[in-house]
């Protein structure tokens, strides 16, 4: 069992294709890993729910292989974050306000992967509605880091990162608004891709910040992400922001000679607030680029200093609008012992939302309110436009932007939960790519002196996910020698 759950998705695909194991054996191995973890003194709590019908689906996958009618990804399991809907399954966004909600349809990305033969294993824990950086703001309790169970796995897709890193799933879907795939990937020592805005359909993703949200992929190797992306990407008539991308040619990943690539290392991501151990890993990655013939320049991009401030105006503003629909009327939980409709609204939302969600709704309502809209939201949108233009200028000269994924290693559970500003600053290196709509990939590059995982971030021009994955695959290959 340990051998199976330690394999990458691509290795598992090869074994299934060669009929060296059955899908039932594979799915049982992951379910057994989940059950074993539940008996641990400190369970990871990565899954909110595992799907027991996955065994039945595994049996059907094996039957399809016997008949010779197997689909391209037949029988490969994956985990799904609790804010990405699956038909017939609960989706609560780890929030009391959606307790009991069962989805009548599947997200486009889920449907495409299932149509290709993949099997959803379960739904993973998260910060409520994606609002958090530590996977502690959940009605189901915090998720722990498999590297050290007293530490956070990062958020908001902490459950997805934890189940991949611990061998409870080979790959997982997460979501990104400002770093929620890449930060958990960094903290748990796995790969995490935030695609370009539009690469993956947002249909079926419960909205947080609609101009920023994206589905992301967490996996053990760049090849695994490329495999998922090759089936999941592309235009979707249900999502008018989706783009007609085609990444079928990125799997298998090509061997890339990085000689001649131009890489920018912004000084804004090397200064105050960056852990020295992480800074050293980023500089080592820069040396790896140079050793292989790439050009690495260190220079200032001043507008990057504004990214976190812009993000924490725009994202809460969009959240306050998106979360207005949770009123106890149409779906989700409802407080029934109330005198009138207004009281029902107030009590349902007061009892259903957690403190971090309420905090961001308050911030969002404030920056959108009369008298403050121009000073905050409008100004933030103007600066976002400037940021996008400056990033476009960077990519007119460079192929990649190199930076830390997170300014700090994973921290102790509870350490920052009552300090919102400190929590928000963990997004200092990631939010710019969400604001600029570009892809970014967190690459695991070893550990700090204290043995804590470190991720280095590669950002590329819009729809250049293939370049990020090919460079990461070369680094991964060299690291495994």
Nearest to 178 by CA among 440, 402, 460: 440
Q: Does 262 participate in catalysis according to the annotation?
A: no
End-to-end CA distance of the chain: 25
Q: Does 81 participate in catalysis according to the annotation?
A: yes
Q: Does 99 participate in catalysis according to the annotation?
A: no
Query: What's the rounded Cα separation, in Å, for the pair 268 and 300?
Result: 6
Query: What's the rounded Cα separation, in Å, for the pair 416 and 420?
Result: 7
Q: Which of 10, 166, 180, 403 is catalytic?
A: 180
**Strand, helix or coil at 78?**
strand
Residues contacting residue 434 through CB under 8 Å, at least 6 positions apart: 176, 177, 178, 179, 194, 197, 212, 214, 311
Query: What's the rounded Cα separation, in Å, for the pair 307 and 266?
Result: 13
Residue by residue, DSSP assigns 412-477 as BTTSSTT-HHHHHGGGTTTHHHHHHT--EEEEEEEE-TTS-EEEEEEEESTT-HHHHHHHHHHHHH
Q: Which of 13, 57, 81, 416 is catalytic?
A: 81
Phi then psi for 191, rounded to 5 degrees?
Answer: -85, 140
> What single DSSP character describes residue 96?
G
Nearest to 198 by CA among 139, 149, 157, 247: 247
Residue by residue, DSSP assigns 336-354 as ---SSHHHHHHHHHHHHS-
Length, in residues, of the chain: 481
Query: What's the rounded Cα separation, in Å, for the pair 4 and 77?
Result: 12
Q: Which of 156, 186, 230, 406 is catalytic?
A: 156
In our burial notation (b when 16+ CB lie closer than 10 A, e otherwise), range 350-375 reads eebbbebbbebbebbbbbbeeeeeee
8 A C-beta contact, residue 354 and residue 127: no
Query: Mind telling me the catalytic residues?
Result: 81, 156, 180
């Amino acid at each position: 069992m340990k051998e199976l759950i330690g394999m990458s998705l691509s290795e598992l695909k090869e074994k299934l294709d060669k009929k060296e194991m059955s899908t039932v054996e594979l799915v049982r191995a992951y379910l057994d890993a989940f059950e074993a973890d539940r008996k641990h003194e400190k369970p990871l709590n990565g899954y909110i729910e595992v799907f027991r019908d996955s065994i039945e689906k595994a049996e059907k996958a094996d039957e399809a292989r016997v008949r010779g009618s197997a689909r391209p990804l037949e029988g490969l399991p994956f985990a799904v974050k609790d804010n990405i809907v699956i038909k017939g399954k609960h989706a609560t966004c780890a929030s009391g306000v959606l307790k009991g909600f069962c989805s009548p349809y599947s997200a486009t990305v889920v449907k495409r992967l299932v149509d290709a033969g993949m099997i959803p294993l379960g739904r993973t824990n998260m910060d409520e509605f994606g609002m958090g950086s530590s996977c502690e703001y959940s009605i189901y309790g915090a998720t722990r880091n498999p590297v050290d169970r007293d530490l956070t796995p990062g958020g908001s897709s902490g459950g997805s990162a934890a189940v991949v890193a611990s061998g409870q799933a080979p790959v997982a879907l997460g979501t990104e608004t400002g770093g929620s795939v890449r930060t958990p990937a960094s903290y748990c020592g796995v790969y995490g891709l935030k695609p370009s805005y539009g690469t993956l359909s947002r249909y079926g993703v419960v909205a947080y910040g609609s101009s920023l949200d994206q589905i992301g992929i967490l996996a053990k190797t760049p090849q695994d992400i490329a495999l998922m992306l090759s089936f999941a990407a592309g235009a979707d008539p249900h999502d008018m922001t989706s783009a007609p991308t085609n990444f079928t040619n990125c799997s298998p990943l090509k061997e890339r000679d990085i000689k001649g690539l131009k890489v920018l290392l912004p000084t804004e991501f090397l200064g105050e607030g960056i852990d020295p151990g992480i800074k050293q890993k980023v500089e080592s990655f820069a040396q790896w680029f140079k050793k292989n013939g790439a050009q690495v320049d260190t220079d200032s991009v001043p507008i990057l200093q504004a990214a976190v401030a812009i993000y924490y105006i725009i994202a809460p503003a969009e959240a306050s609008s998106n979360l207005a629909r949770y009123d106890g009327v149409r779906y989700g939980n409802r407080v029934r012992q109330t005198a009138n409709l207004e009281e029902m609204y107030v009590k349902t939302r007061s009892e259903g939302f957690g403190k971090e969600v309420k905090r961001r709704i308050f911030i969002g309502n404030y920056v959108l309110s009369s008298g403050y809209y121009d000073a905050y939201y409008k100004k933030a949108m103007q600066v976002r436009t400037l940021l996008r233009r400056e990033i476009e200028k960077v990519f007119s000269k460079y192929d990649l932007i190199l930076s830390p994924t997170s300014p700090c290693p994973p921290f102790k559970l509870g350490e920052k939960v009552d300090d919102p500003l400190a929590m928000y600053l963990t997004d200092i290196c990631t939010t710019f790519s969400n604001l600029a709509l570009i892809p970014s990939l967190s690459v695991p590059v070893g550990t700090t002196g204290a043995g804590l995982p470190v991720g280095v971030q590669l950002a590329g021009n819009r729809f250049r996910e293939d370049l990020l994955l090919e460079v990461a695959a070369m680094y991964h290959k060299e690291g495994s020698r």
